[in-house]
Amino acid sequence: MLDDQAALERVDAHATRDVLAAFPAQCRTAAALHPEPAPPGIRPRAVIAAGMGGSAAGGDVVAACALERLDVPIVVHRGYGLPALARPDTLVVASSYSGETAEVVSALETALARGVPAVAITSGGRLARLAEQARVPRVALPGGLMPRMALGFLVFPLLATLDAVGLTVASEAEIAEALGALDALAGVLGPARGAASNEAKQLALAIGDAVPVIYGGPLTGASAYRWKTDLEENAKTFALSGTLPEMNHNEIEAWRAPAGKGLHLVLLRDRDEGGAIARRFALVREMCATVAAGVSEVWGRGEGPLARLLSLAYLGQWTSYYLAILRGEDPWLVPTLEALKSRMASDERR
């Protein structure tokens, strides 16, 4: 079915395939965006990246890339308000693709109330209006996408914002490498490439009716969570995610028959994971394979952490897309999520 263009177009009624195919171009556009006006170039003591769902994913990618680079912590904050860490010597970056997310608006309101320097990354909505009123620097994003499909617009402007305050997470060469890796992947993961040589189609077919379980390592754990959320929203399936070595100390115990028989394990590997983590992946694979419905292993592309993480995220987007097609779900639509948001919004107006 995945190689039958007409069948694929019937399920993908909103042409999500075109948005995913344009992801490298989105990243290229996003890499040219900056906050305006420029934030004061004072190096913060910590960064709080506030966002929810797809708009928090940019913070996860950047925080993972920064782990071995920056002596300043990047805390991804998912929720209302801000943690106590947010003080005038920190920086808050409030990201909401739509600009209508109540939690992120409340994070910016809290930053303003506490005198914490802030930047907003959004295509519009309440967040853009608040930023404009309070003269908060803003990266203005183009609209029209589903937030989870706007990952490029949430990663690159955050990198540019951090760079503007003296926190360089990825060099220009690493950004160029990541863009090149995505270009190369677009050519081999799209619908025109047959399942026989398309890694994303093969993964979706391997997962089939099973529940996907995605495990990453110290760097790729951030990607594992992103795969889980893309699978949930695009394919409308439960999915689990975890990180090595932590899952060796708890979740590994849950891999028993009969529950494990309904799970398909996907391991997100990384060239720099190190010998101890590689050994742990090998053991997890060996122990889970005896009960799992299946096991797959994938690797990030490129040298720099940004290329490796974004290439894994892109593979995950396409895998969740093809799994949606196989299960007869339009990958664009998220009716339950939207129903919950609109009920919350009407409660808040009362």
Contacts with ligand PA5, residue ranges (CB under 6 A): 52-55, 96-98, 101, 104, 146-148, 233, 334
Q: Compute CA distances 287 → 41, 134, 241, 294, whole Å.
A: 50, 55, 17, 12
Q: How far is the CB of 171 from ligand PA5 (least distance, A)?
A: 28
What is the closest distance, in whole angstroms, from the C-beta atom of residue 225 to ligand PA5 in the complex?
Answer: 12
The residue (of 54 and 137) whose beta carbon lies closer to ligand PA5 is 54
**Can you read off the two tokens belonging to residue 197?**
């040589």
CA angle 123, 134, 93 (to 5 degrees): 55
Q: Is 228 a catalytic residue?
A: no
Catalytic residue, chosen from 233, 236, 264, 329, is: 233
What is the DSSP pairing of strand 91-96 with strand 74-77? unpaired
Specify whether 34 is catalytic.
Answer: no
Pairing state of beta strands 211-216 and 294-299? unpaired
In the complex with ligand PA5, the residue whose CB is nearer, 197 or 346, is 346
**8 Å CB contact between 12 and 2:** no
- Rounded to whole angstroms, the Cα distance separating 107 from 99 reads 12
Q: What is the DSSP code (8-state) at residue 264?
A: E
In the bound state with ligand PA5, the residue whose beta carbon lies nearer, of 146 and 247, is 146
Nearest CB to ligand PA5, comparing residues 2 and 104? 104
CB of 46 to ligand PA5, least distance (A): 22
In this structure, how many other beta carbons lie within 10 angstroms of the beta carbon of residue 204?
Answer: 25
Shortest spacing between CB 148 and ligand PA5, in angstroms: 3
Known catalytic residue: 341? yes
Distance CA(52)–CA(99), nearest Å, equals 11
CB of residue 210 to ligand PA5, shortest distance in Å:
23
Catalytic pick among 34, 100, 232, 341: 341
Q: Which residues are annotated as catalytic?
A: 233, 249, 341
